[in-house]
Amino acid sequence: MRTNNNEISKGIDGLLLFLYIVLCLIGIVSIFATTYNEGENIVDGFLSFRTDYGKQSMFFLFSLFAGVVILLTDSKFFTATANLWYTAGIVLLLLVFPFHSNIKGTESIIKFGNAFQLQPIQLCIVFTNLALAKYISRIETDFTKLRSQLIAASIVVAPALLAILQKETGLALVYFSFFLVMFREGLPAIVLVIGFSFAILVVATLLMDPNVLALILTGIALLSAYFMRRQIKRHKSVLFWIIAIWAICVSIQRFAVPFIFDHVLKPYQVKRIYDTIGKDYIPKDAAALADIEKNTSQKKDAGNYNVKQSKIAIGSGGLLGKGLLKGTQTRYAFVPEQRTDFIFCTIGESFGFVGSMIFISIYVVLLFRIVTIAERQRSTFSRCYAYGVASVLFFHIAINLCMTMGLAPVIGIPLPFVSYGGLSLVTFSIMIFILLRLDKDRQMVLR
Amino acid sequence: MPAFNQSRQNIIRLIFAATFLIIAGRLFILQVVSDKYKLLALDNAVYKKVIYPDRGIIFDRNNNAILNNTIIYDLTVTPYEVKQVDTFFLCNLLSIDTAEFRERIITAIIKNGRYRPSVFEGLLSLDLQAKLEENIWRFPGFTLIERPIRNYLYNAGAHLLGDIGEVDTAIIRRSNYFYQMGDFVGRSGLEQYYESVLMGKRGIQNLIKDNRNRLQGSWENGKYDTAASAGRNLYTYLDIELQQLAEKLMTNKVGSIVAIDPKTGGILTMVSGPSFDPNDLTGSTRQRKYANLALDVSAPLMNRATRGMYEPGSTFKPIGGLVALDMGVITANYGLACSGAYYGCAKVIRCEHSNPGHAANMRLALANSCNSYFSHIYRLTLDNNKDRSVKKGYTHWKDYMNAFGWGQRLGVDLPNELPGNIPDTTEYNKDYRGYWNSCTNVTLGIGQDKMQVTPVQLANAMCIIANKGYYYTPHFVEKIENETAKDSILNKFREKHAALTHIPDEAYEAIHAGMQDVVESGTARSARIPGISICAKTGTAEKYTILDGKRIKLPNNSMFVCFAPRENPKIAIAVAVENAGFGSTWAAPIASFLIEKYLTDSIRTDRMKEVERISNTNLMPSYLKRKQFIADSTRAYFYFNLRKDSSYIKKYLRGYTTTEKKPVKAAQPVKIKTPEETVNSRIQKPADTPSAHAIPDGKIIHIKKPSRKADIIWINDEKYLKNQES
Answer whether B275's CB lies under 8 Å from B99's CB: no
pLDDT at B387: 80
Pairwise CA distance, residues A408 & A329, whole Å = 21
Are B20 and A319 within 8 A, CB to CB? no
Asked if the model's pLDDT at residue B81 lies above 90, the reply is: no
Order the strands of the A106-112 sheet from edge to edge.
A100-103, A106-112, A116-118
The angle that helices A422-440 and A76-99 make with each other, rounded to 10 degrees, is: 160
What does the pLDDT read at residue B97?
85
How far A174 CA sits from the closest chain B CA (Å)? 16
The pLDDT value recorded for residue B155 is 87
Q: Rounded to whole angstroms, how far apart are CA atoms A268 and A303?
A: 9
Low-confidence ranges of chain A (pLDDT < 70): 1-8, 103-105, 114-115, 275-303
Q: How far apart are CA B560 and CA B681, in angstroms?
A: 65
Provide, as residue numbers in chain B, all residues whose Cβ is less than 8 Å from the Cβ of A183: 8, 11-12
Residues B539 and B452: beta-carbon distance below 8 Å: no
Q: List all residues 6 or more positions away from B389 whose beta carbon is below 8 Å from its beta carbon.
A: none
d(CA B548, CA A68): 104
The alpha carbon of residue B706 is apart from the nearest alpha carbon of chain A, in Å, by 37
Q: B714 — contact with chain A (CB < 8 Å)?
A: no
- The number of CA neighbours under 13 Å toward the Cβ of B434 is 0
pLDDT at A28: 92
- Report CA A317 to chain centroid distance, whole Å: 26
Check if B31 contacts A (Cβ < 8 Å): yes
Helix (H) or strand (E) holding A108: strand A106-112
Q: If you average pLDDT over residues B107-126, what whole number do you get?
A: 81
Helix (H, G, I), strand (E, B) or coil at A100: strand
3-state secondary structure of B711: coil
**Has residue B561 got a pLDDT over 50?**
yes
Q: Tally A–B CB contacts below 8 A.
A: 119
Quick check: B49 pLDDT over 90? no
Which residue(s) pair with B676 in the sheet?
none
Pairing of strands B58-59, B234-236: parallel
Contact B32 A186 (CB under 8 A): no
| pLDDT value for A429 | 95
| Residue B647 binned pLDDT confidence (cut-offs 50, 70, 90) | low
Tens of pLDDT, residues B262-301: 999 999 999 998 999 888 888 777 777 888 888 888 899 9
Closest partner residue to B24 (CB to CB) among A334, A360, A375 is A360
Closest CA to A404 of A316, A362, A343, A339: A343
The confidence score (pLDDT) of residue B339 equals 83
Residues of A in contact with B109 (CB under 8 A): none
| Per-residue model confidence (pLDDT) at position A390 | 95
For chain A, say whether B30 makes contact (Cβ under 8 Å).
yes
Mean pLDDT of the region B206-224: 75
Longest dimension (CA), chain A: 81
Query: Which residue in chain A has the smallest CA separation from B208?
Result: A328
Separation in Å, CA of B180 to nearest CA in chain A: 25
Tell me the shortest Cα–Cα distance from A298 to chain B, in angstroms: 13
How many Å apart are CA B464 and CA B563, to the nearest integer?
Answer: 10
Q: Would you call the peptide bond into A409 cis, given omega within 30 degrees of 0 as the criterion?
A: no
What is the nearest CA distance from B117 to chain A, expressed in angstroms? 20
- Rounded Cα–Cα distance for residues A350 and A319 (Å): 10
CA nearest B599: which of B258, B156, B157, B261?
A: B261
Amino acid sitting at position B451: M
Give CA separation, B555 vs B35, B591, B619, in Å. Answer: 74, 20, 11
- A297 at the B interface (CB within 8 A)? no
A387 touches chain B (CB under 8 A): yes
Q: Looking at the partner chain, which of B26, B44, B46 has a beta carbon nearest the beta carbon of A405?
A: B26
Separation of CA B378 from chain center = 38
CA dihedral A254, A256, A259, A263 (to 10 degrees): -170
| pLDDT attached to residue B692 | 38
Whether chain B has a CB inside 8 Å of the CB on A191: the answer is no
- What is chain B's length? 726
Nearest chain A Cα to B40, which residue? A312
- Residue of chain A whose alpha carbon sits nearest to that of B4: A186
Using the beta-carbon criterion (under 8 Å), do B38 and A185 form an inter-chain contact? no
B602 in contact with A at a CB cutoff of 8 Å? no
The dihedral built from the CA positions of residue B347, B349, B355 and B357, taken in this order, carries a sign that is: negative
The mean of the pLDDT values for chain B is 82
Least confident of A167-181, B518-532, B682-696: B682-696
In degrees and rounded to multiples of 5, residue B219 shows phi and psi of -100, 130
pLDDT of residue B374: 92
Q: Which residue in A307, A311, A330 sits closest to A32, CA to CA?
A: A330
Q: Measured between CB atoms, does A243 come within 8 Å of chain B?
A: no
Q: What are the Cα distances from residue B124, in Å, to A95, B75, B82?
A: 64, 7, 20
Tell me, what's the pLDDT at B2?
44
Residue among A186, A333, A394 minimizing CB distance to B5: A186
Among candidates A315, A353, A371 on the partner chain, residue whose Cβ is nearest the Cβ of B9: A371
Contact status, residue B315 vs residue B538, Cβ threshold 8 Å:
yes
Q: What is the pLDDT of residues B650-671, one digit of tens each?
A: 655 555 554 444 444 444 444 4
Q: Are strands B477-480 and B349-350 parallel, antiparallel or unpaired?
A: unpaired
Cis upstream peptide for B274 (omega within 30°): yes
Is A405 an interface residue toward B (CB < 8 Å)? yes
pLDDT category at B414 given cuts 50, 70, 90 is: very high
Domain residue ranges in chain A: 4-92+301-440
Task: Report the C-alpha gap between B487 and B150 in whole angstroms.
Answer: 24
Rounded CA separation B694/B682 (Å): 11
The 3-state DSSP class for residue B240 equals helix
Chain A, window 129-168: residues with a beta carbon less than 8 angstroms from a chain B beta carbon? 144
Residue B40 confidence (pLDDT): 82
Interface test mutation site (partner A, options B31, B213, B220, max chain A beta carbons within 10 A): B31
Q: Decide: B271 and B305 in contact? Cβ < 8 Å.
A: yes
Closest CA–CA distance from residue B106 to any residue of chain A (Å) = 17
Work out the minimum CA distance from A387 to partner chain B, whole angstroms. 9
SS3 content of chain B, % helix, strand, coil (to 5): 40, 20, 40
Distance CA A68, CA A83 (A): 23
Instruction: Tell me how long chain A is.
Output: 447
Over 50: is that where the pLDDT of B676 sits? no
pLDDT at A285: 67
Among A267-281, B9-23, B204-218, the least confident range: A267-281
Q: Cβ contact (<8 Å) for B27 and A402? A: no
Q: Which residues in chain A have Cβ-Cβ distances shorter than 8 Å to B40?
A: 312, 315-316
**Segment 231-260 of chain B within 8 Å of chain A by CB:** none
Type of residue numbered A121? I
Which of B628, B618, B619 lies closest to B547 in space, CA to CA?
Answer: B628
Chain mean position to CA A352: 25
Task: Check: CB of residue A22 under 8 Å from CB of residue A362.
Answer: yes
Residues in Cβ contact with A56 at an 8 Å cutoff, skipping those fewer than 6 apart:
A27, A28, A31, A420, A422, A425
**Would an 8 Å CB–CB cutoff place A314 in contact with chain B?**
yes
Q: In the prediction, which pLDDT does B591 show?
A: 93
Check B37 against A309: CB less than 8 A apart. Answer: no
In chain B, positions 156-195, which contact chain A (CB-CB < 8 Å)?
none
